[in-house]
Structure 1
């Protein structure tokens, strides 16, 4: 699963009982920093988190 390839995956794993696949996901942002040692991708997940953090609950 793609999430296991991430260095810091604890947060994303905490949102779902099973992290969804990213087939047909559209990349919204790409940031390369730290002289190429860090790559950040922004994308929309296929469905909303099953276990969102408390601060997300009031955002709609």
Structure 2
């Protein structure tokens, strides 16, 4: 499995509700939870699906 460079969302709360996103691999956006172990499953989205998700209202 490729190594993902996760970045915590700026919308994450201070109470530990943390979403992390990695976009350092072409063709996939990995989404994870910072509270889970490093080897925990992550959600893989296409860049198009990620863009649609982040721009949806």
- TM-score, normalized by length of structure 2? 0.30
More strand by share: 2
TM-score using structure 1 length: 0.29
Higher RCO (C-alpha under 8 Å, 6+ residues apart) = 1
More helix by share: 1
